[in-house]
Amino acid sequence: MPRKARIDAAGAFHHIIIRGIESRKIFRDNADRHNFLNRIATLVSLSQTRCFAWALLPNHAHVLLQTGLMPIPTLMRRLLTGYAVSFNLKYRRHGHLFQNRYKSILCQEDLYLKELVRYIHLNPLRARLVLDMKQLDTYTWSGHSAIMGRVKRDWQAIEYVLNLFGNRKSKARAKYRAFLEKGVALGKRPDLIGGGLIRSMGGWDEVKRLRTENVRIKGDERVLGDSDFVEQILSAAQERLDRHYAYKSQGYDFDKVVQRVAETMTLEPSEVLRRGKEPKTVLARSLLCYWANRELGMTTVEISRRLKISQPAVSKASLRGEKLAAENDWAIVIKS
């Protein structure tokens, strides 16, 4: 059965689970953990990705991210590839470090953000890496200690999380900790590992029963949210996919998009591709990045190689291009 495509969207929230192959350790010492965290810190800062929660355990890790300038699949590929290469060199090993693909679950913010922060930050306690909440407060390898003010993590979205519990930092922190403490008794939370309402409602038997009563439920293992949210996310993802195929079937490739940008902005194709900071060229390249990435479906890696610029530069340019296209009502296909 073919595996399903990743789902991403601007501003989307993702609960990401990374596991070692055959349940083997992916962190053998604190130097490995520092290595992994330094890579996350660099990538989320560079791409303006928000990180709300994280926890490192010996053979797996959890991270809760919000999409920024860089698509989550791109960020994760760079993180995991870079870490795996350095890990293998350090321990003189070969082969895969991680189990298949990492698991990524797109989450509905208002229903699940607080629950996921709690679930992720309680992982070290559930795994008995710490004995109690007091030890968890100072545990270095979880985002909880940073929210509690015990460790400084400039790249972690601490203020955002605290604002979910109140406006005054001290009171918000106390409410946040009390919220976590209440979650200890809940144990493992299978309802937070994907599947939308399907899991949280008790499985397919319950869903089938509701269907006999004309209650329709939409679920997908890649999405965690209520039925309307899941439907909305899947519809948007399918719409993007259909659009990519439609443009490609009409013969659109990178070169044709370059030509279309040139026509739109009254430039020569060579001017669109020219490097430099001349204002009109920068705008043209921004429109090119937006159409090539978001409309044609090219990855930021492919575009960066074509334009000889960095992936973050492509992501930033794509955002500028999206705004430019909207302001001028420009479309990749000439409107009749």
Q: Which domains are seen in the chain, by residue range?
A: 13-191 (3.30.70.1290), 194-228 (no CATH), 250-328 (1.10.1750.10)
CB atoms within 10 A of CB 206: 14
Output the pLDDT for position 335. Answer: 54
* Rounded to 5°, angle at Cα 84 from 79 and 85: 105
DSSP 323: H
Convert 71-84 to b/e letters by CB count within 10 Å (16 or more is b): bbbbbbebbbeebb
Strand partners, 19: 60
Provide the pLDDT confidence category of residue 83 given band limits of 50, 70 and 90: very high
Do 288 and 261 contact (CB within 8 A), yes or no?
yes
Q: What is the pLDDT of residue 72?
A: 85
Share of the chain above pLDDT 90, in %: 39
Helix, strand or coil, per DSSP, at residue 220: strand
- pLDDT confidence of 200, banded at 50, 70, 90? very low
Mean pLDDT (whole number) for 277-288? 89
For the chain, how far is it from start to end, CA to CA, in angstroms?
41
How many whole angstroms separate alpha carbon 311 and alpha carbon 47? 9
Higher per-residue confidence, 210 vs 141: 141
Helix, strand or coil, per DSSP, at residue 123: helix
pLDDT at residue number 189: 57
Strand order in the sheet with 223-224: 50-57, 60-66, 13-19, 103-107, 223-224
CA quadruple 76, 80, 83, 86: dihedral sign: negative
For residue range 94-115, what is the model confidence (pLDDT) as tens digits? 989 998 777 777 665 556 788 8
169-192: pLDDT as tens digits: 999 999 999 999 988 877 565 555
Assess contact for 316 and 69: CB atoms under 8 A. yes
pLDDT digits (tens, 9 = 90+) for 32-77: 999 999 999 999 998 889 999 999 999 999 999 988 888 888 899 8
Residue 244, amino acid: H
Phi, psi of 312 (to 5 degrees): -60, -35
Range with top average pLDDT, 121-125, 263-267, 321-325? 121-125
The mean pLDDT of 162-168, rounded to a whole number, is 90
Query: pLDDT at position 316, please?
Result: 84
Task: Calculate helix-pair angle for 254-265, 279-290, nearest 10 degrees.
Answer: 140
Structure tokens at 249: 């079937």
Q: Can you give the pTM of this predicted structure?
A: 0.62
Residue with more model confidence, 215 or 292? 292
